[in-house]
Amino acid sequence: MHTDSPPLVTPAPARVAWLTGQSSWRHQRLSPAQERVLDALAQHGWEPLRAGFPWTELAASAPRRTERPGTASLRNTVQGLAAHPGSRFAGDVAHHLQPLLTATHDRLLLLCASAGARMITGAAGAVDVPSGLVVDVVGIGPVGALPPSVGPWRVHAVRGRADWLSAIGHARRFDAVVPGGHLGAATSPAMVDAVLRLVGLE
């Protein structure tokens, strides 16, 4: 998880970051499709964090390599299951999330895809949200529970119309449904539009 590497974070008034399970242990470079989502949101004032969890300098600098879908899916599933509140892994997620919270002044937008839903739920009770910061959590094709929408946390859930994994694996009502399946819908223009509507920027 690159726990010995400094966090890849600088002060910003409004920041957007992806929170998903790690498909690779060697890096957490974002896919081109995830980068395009950040590019679209950057046009609306969100400073993009261009690496995935655990958002460290080492994770961002290592060369990106494509993992086999089955291997990537298994790793994400294991991390989602391990992220229950109070677990060691949930504590690790909170440890890496805290610098993002501390260095963001007004609003932090977390795109919690698939297993990221369970990861943010496990970590939410173990972080210190600075006074005045609003944390927008958007579960994108979430599998598992999301944290409650209380206090500084504003929580939404979106899935693809053909995303049966999320439809079955997430009990909460969805705030928006867009075209596509579990993987394709997560980075589609329709998903970006839904995110912007839900966080009040469109």
Domain span at 182 = 12-198
Supply the DSSP symbol for 23. Answer: S
Domain for residue 47, yes or no?
yes
Whose CA is closest to 192, among 103, 119, 109, 120? 109
Query: Is the per-residue pLDDT at 190 higher than 90?
Result: yes
Tens digits of residue pLDDT in 17-76: 999 987 665 667 888 999 999 999 999 999 999 998 999 887 777 666 666 666 567 666
Using pLDDT thresholds of 50, 70 and 90, give the confidence band for residue 1: very low
> Structural domain tally of the chain?
1
Domain for residue 164, yes or no?
yes
Domain for residue 118, yes or no?
yes
Domain for residue 2, yes or no?
no
Whose CA is closest to 52, among 79, 13, 85, 70? 79
Please tell me the pTM assigned to this model.
0.92
CATH number, domain containing residue 127 = 3.40.50.1820
Indicate left, alpha or beta for 44 from its phi (over 0: left) and psi (-120 to 50: alpha).
alpha
Domain for residue 7, yes or no?
no
Tens digits of residue pLDDT in 68-104: 666 567 666 776 776 788 999 899 999 999 999 999 9
